[in-house]
Structure 1
């Protein structure tokens, strides 16, 4: 980089990966529900 700093790389833990999958599924369900409500108008 410009300041000669080394880049940091991060990796999800197994628990973090499961949490991400859970949150992603919840987000998808929410967006489907909102879309259905908006289509009713």
Structure 2
């Protein structure tokens, strides 16, 4: 894993601990899931 991935994971965890609108957090979870998939595809 690259350091950027570790930073993003930490940021996502911090974001998840803050209460947000359900729609916003669901959208954010979907977006970060896609970003992780794309990164894995490009880095592999």
- Fold-level similarity (TM above 0.5): yes
Q: What interval of TM-score do these two structures reach, taking the shorter chain for normalisation?
A: 0.5 to 0.7
Q: Which has the larger radius of gyration?
A: 1
Higher helix share: 2
**Structure 1: 4+ residue segments shifted above 4 A:** none
Q: State TM-score, norm by structure 2.
A: 0.54
Which blocks of at least 5 consecutive residues in structure 1 are unaligned?
Answer: 1-11
Q: How much is the aligned-residue C-alpha RMSD, in angstroms?
A: 1.5
